Amino acid sequence: MAHKVCPFWVGYLLINPFRKLFESPNKILGPYVQEGMTVFEPGCGMGYFTLPLARMAGPTGRIIAADIQPKMLSTLRRRARKAGLSDRIELRFIQENGLGVADLSGQVDFAVALHMVHEVPDQVSFFTEIRQSLKQGGKLLFVEPKGHVSQDQFAASVTIAEEAGFVSEELPGKMGDRVALLKR
């Protein structure tokens, strides 16, 4: 489901603990994720955000982490096991024909698309599938990196999400100019 995908080896750079100094998962996701939530994270990579999401959702929560690269998922599986979070994280391999989340229809409380939508060739299908997985009132936090995505490209993606049925919401605080909170 991708055309230009982050190389596997870059995943090791992205899970560097020093990243928390300028991109804290707890600060970014903490306002949205509560104990017991079901969270969907496509493009999870090696789990930089996945493991903190699992801690936030707690033992009664569920994180569905999906990626198109088996090596990313296998590394995340090892990291989750080492962190004692395997029971909260369900790993899914994304196939060529979509996210494979039809079984989650209306079950997801919150979804995150973090630094990966620019890699998705069919954003219409991507946003449509995520919206269908969300409960009524469920939200999607959509973040893109400035280095890869221009403000115009980001705005175009937000428009695609809105055309798929999402409604943009006001973001609390200052989170940057390539961040959108979208509601089903």
pLDDT at residue number 164: 97
Which pLDDT does position 7 carry in this prediction? 65
Whether residue 12 lies inside any domain: the answer is: no
Q: Residue 6 domain-assigned?
A: no
CATH of the domain at 127: 3.40.50.150
The answer to whether residue 16 sits within a structural domain is no
Query: What does the block give as tokens for 43?
Result: 């493009």
Look up the domain containing 76 and give its range: 28-183
Mean of the pLDDT values across residues 55-78? 96
Degrees, nearest 5: CA angle 24-73-100: 100
Would the CA dihedral through 26, 121, 125, 167 be positive or negative? Answer: positive
> What predicted TM-score, i.e. pTM, was given to this entire model?
0.89
- Does the residue 171 lie in any domain? yes
* pLDDT beyond 60 at 110: yes
Residue 60 has pLDDT above 90, yes or no: yes
- What pLDDT, in 10s, does the model give residues 131-150? 999 999 999 999 998 888 99
Strands (DSSP E) found in the chain: 38-42, 62-67, 89-93, 108-114, 134-143, 167-169, 179-183
Count of domains for the chain = 1
| 85-99 residue pLDDT tens | 999 999 999 988 899
